[in-house]
Chains A and B, each alone.
Chain A
Amino acid sequence: MSAVKKGLVTFAAAVPEEGLKAALARPRSEVIAEVTASKLRGRGGAGFPTGVKWNLAAAATAPAKWVVCNADEGEPGTFKDRVILAEVPDLVLEGMTIAAWAIGAARGVLYLRGEYAYLRDSLEKVLARRREKGLLGTGILGSPLSFDVEIRMGSGAYVCGEETALIESLEGHRGEPRNRPPFPVDCGYRSEPTIVNNVETFACAAMVLAKGAEWFRGIGTEVSTGPKLFSVSGDCREPGVWEFPLGITIAGLLAAVGGEGAKAVQVGGASGRCVPASEFGRTLAFEGVPTGGSIIVFGPRRDMLHVAENFLEFFVDESCGQCTPCREGNAKLLEGVRMLREGRCSWAYLQELQKLGEVMQLASKCGLGQSSPNAFLSIVEHFRPEIMGRTAGGNA
Chain B
Amino acid sequence: MSSRIERTASISRAPVSQRGHVVPVSADPEAIGGTVSVTIDGIEAKVPLGTTILDAARALGLKIPTLCHHPDLEVAGVCRICVVEVEGQRTLQAACAFPITSPIRVQTHTRKVRQARRRILDLMLSKHVGECYTCFRNLNCELQTLAKEYGVDFFRFGHEAARRHQVDDSSYSVRRDMDKCILCRRCVRTCIDLQEVGVLEAVGRSDGTRIATFLDKPLNDVVCINCGQCINRCPTAALGAMDPTDDVWIDINDPKKHVVIQTAPAPRAAIGECFGLPPGTPLTFEMNTAMKTIGFDRVFDTNFTADLTIIEEGTELLLRLHEALVQKKDVALPQFTSCSPGWVKYLEHFYPEMIPNLSTAKSPQQMFGALIKTFYAQKAGIDPASIVACALMPCSAKKYECNRPEMCDSGHKDVDYGLVTRELGQMFHEAGIDLPKMPKGSFDDPFGTATGSGVIFGATGGVMEAAIRTVVELVTGLKIEDVFAHADVLPVRGFDGVRYVELPIPAIGEVPDLLKMNKGLPFSDWKWLEGAVLKVAVCHGTANAKRVVEDIKAGGTFSKCHFIEFMACPGGCLGGGGMPIPTSPEIRAARAKAIYAEDASYEIRKAHENPAVIRLYQEFLTDGPCGEKSHHLLHTHYTPRGKYIA
Query: Given A179-B21, A321-B205, A328-B157, 8 other A-B contacts at CB below 8 A?
Result: A167-B16, A171-B16, A177-B17, A318-B206, A323-B77, A325-B116, A332-B157, A355-B119
A321 lies within 8 A of B206 (CB)? yes
Chain B nearest CB, measured from A167 CB (Å): 8
Would you call the interface of chain A mostly helix, strand, loop, or mixed? Answer: helix
Chain B nearest CB, measured from A317 CB (Å): 6
Of residues 225 through 250 on chain A, the ones whose CB sits less than 8 Å from some CB of chain B are: none
Q: List 11 A-B contacts (CB under 8 A).
A: A165-B17, A174-B202, A182-B99, A318-B206, A321-B204, A323-B78, A323-B79, A352-B157, A356-B157, A359-B115, A364-B91
What chain B residues lie within 8 Å of A181 (beta carbons)? 21, 98-99, 101
In the complex, per-residue mask of B495-531: 1 if CB is within 8 Å of any chain A CB, else 0? 0000000000000000000000000000000000000
Chain A nearest CB, measured from B10 CB (Å): 8
Roughly how many angstroms separate A182 CA and B112 CA in the complex, as a whole number?
Answer: 25
Q: Assess whether A37 is interfacial by the CB under 8 Å rule.
A: no
Roughly how many angstroms separate A361 CA and B116 CA in the complex, as a whole number?
Answer: 10
B77 lies within 8 A of A365 (CB)? yes
B22 lies within 8 A of A173 (CB)? no
Roughly how many angstroms separate A181 CA and B102 CA in the complex, as a whole number?
Answer: 12
Q: Assess whether A29 is interfacial by the CB under 8 Å rule.
A: no
B99 lies within 8 A of A370 (CB)? no
Scoring A187, A319, A325, A329 by chain B CB atoms within 10 A of each residue's CB, the highest score goes to: A325
Indicate which residue in A179, A316, A321, A370 contacts B77 across the interface (CB closer than 8 Å). A179
Roughly how many angstroms separate A176 CA and B78 CA in the complex, as a whole number?
Answer: 10
In the complex, per-residue mask of A294-331: 1 if CB is within 8 Å of any chain B CB, else 0? 00000000000000000000011111111111011111
Chain A nearest CB, measured from B56 CB (Å): 15
Q: Assess whether B156 is interfacial by the CB under 8 Å rule.
A: yes
A328 lies within 8 A of B15 (CB)? no
B91 lies within 8 A of A327 (CB)? no
Chain A: which residue is nearest B10 at the CB level? A191
Chain B nearest CB, measured from A353 CB (Å): 9
Q: Assess whether A396 is interfacial by the CB under 8 Å rule.
A: no
In the complex, per-residue mask of A331-370: 1 if CB is within 8 Å of any chain B CB, else 0? 1100000000000000000001001100101111100001
Q: Assess whether B97 is interfacial by the CB under 8 Å rule.
A: yes
Indicate which residue in A321, A324, A362 contacts B92 across the interface (CB closer than 8 Å). A362
Q: Which of B121-129, B214-222, B634-642 contacts A (4 or more CB under 8 A)?
A: B121-129
Q: Assess whether A152 is interfacial by the CB under 8 Å rule.
A: no
What chain A residues lie within 8 Å of B208 (beta carbons)? 321
Of residues 119 through 157 on chain B, the ones whose CB sits less than 8 Å from some CB of chain A are: 119-120, 123-124, 126-127, 156-157
With A324-B80, A362-B112 already in contact, the answer to whether A182 and B17 are too (CB < 8 A) is: no
In the complex, per-residue mask of B23-37: 1 if CB is within 8 Å of any chain A CB, else 0? 100000000000000
Indicate which residue in B79, B80, B206 contacts A320 across the interface (CB closer than 8 Å). B206
What chain B residues lie within 8 Å of A97 (beta carbons)? none
A168 lies within 8 A of B156 (CB)? no
Roughly how many angstroms separate A167 CA and B18 CA in the complex, as a whole number?
Answer: 13
Q: Assess whether B456 is interfacial by the CB under 8 Å rule.
A: no
B156 lies within 8 A of A352 (CB)? yes
B17 lies within 8 A of A164 (CB)? yes
A327 lies within 8 A of B22 (CB)? no
Of residues 190 through 215 on chain B, the ones whose CB sits less than 8 Å from some CB of chain A are: 202, 204-209
Scoring A157, A179, A355, A359 by chain B CB atoms within 10 A of each residue's CB, the highest score goes to: A179
Roughly how many angstroms separate A187 CA and B23 CA in the complex, as a whole number?
Answer: 9
Scoring B101, B123, B202 by chain A CB atoms within 10 A of each residue's CB, the highest score goes to: B123
Roughly how many angstroms separate A271 CA and B126 CA in the complex, as a whole number?
Answer: 25
Chain A nearest CB, measured from B108 CB (Å): 14
Roughly how many angstroms separate A9 CA and B94 CA in the complex, as a whole number?
Answer: 44
B206 lies within 8 A of A182 (CB)? no
B126 lies within 8 A of A332 (CB)? yes
Indicate which residue in A176, A187, A323, A361 contacts B15 across the interface (CB closer than 8 Å). A176
Chain B: which residue is nearest A336 at the CB level? B157
Indicate which residue in A177, A325, A331 contacts B206 across the interface (CB closer than 8 Å). A331
What chain B residues lie within 8 Å of A191 (beta carbons)? 10, 16, 22
Chain A: which residue is nearest B102 at the CB level? A181
B15 lies within 8 A of A364 (CB)? no
What chain B residues lie within 8 Å of A325 (beta carbons)? 80, 116, 119-120, 123
A363 lies within 8 A of B92 (CB)? yes
Q: Assess whether A382 is interfacial by the CB under 8 Å rule.
A: no
Indicate which residue in B10, B17, B83, B119 contacts A322 across the interface (CB closer than 8 Å). B17
B183 lies within 8 A of A327 (CB)? yes
A322 lies within 8 A of B15 (CB)? no
Roughly how many angstroms separate A32 CA and B127 CA in the complex, as a whole number?
Answer: 49
With A168-B16, A370-B91 already in contact, the answer to whether A359 and B120 are too (CB < 8 A) is: yes
B15 lies within 8 A of A174 (CB)? yes
Q: Assess whether A107 is interfacial by the CB under 8 Å rule.
A: no
Q: Assess whether A211 is interfacial by the CB under 8 Å rule.
A: no
Roughly how many angstroms separate A181 CA and B101 CA in the complex, as a whole number?
Answer: 9
A178 lies within 8 A of B157 (CB)? no
Chain B nearest CB, measured from A10 CB (Å): 32
B80 lies within 8 A of A321 (CB)? no
Chain A nearest CB, measured from B348 CB (Å): 28
Chain A nearest CB, measured from B213 CB (Å): 16
Q: Assess whether B419 is interfacial by the CB under 8 Å rule.
A: no
Roughly how many angstroms separate A174 CA and B202 CA in the complex, as a whole number?
Answer: 9
A321 lies within 8 A of B16 (CB)? no
Q: Assess whether B75 is interfacial by the CB under 8 Å rule.
A: yes
In the complex, per-residue mask of B61-78: 1 if CB is within 8 Å of any chain A CB, else 0? 000000000000001011
What chain A residues lie within 8 Å of B183 (beta carbons)? 321, 324, 327
A179 lies within 8 A of B15 (CB)? no
What chain A residues lie within 8 Å of B156 (beta carbons)? 352
Indicate which residue in B91, B99, B207 contacts A363 across the interface (CB closer than 8 Å). B91
What chain B residues lie within 8 Å of A176 (beta carbons)? 15, 17-18
With A179-B75, A320-B205 already in contact, the answer to whether A332 and B21 are too (CB < 8 A) is: no
With A174-B202, A316-B207 already in contact, the answer to whether A322 and B120 are too (CB < 8 A) is: no
Chain B nearest CB, measured from A302 CB (Å): 26
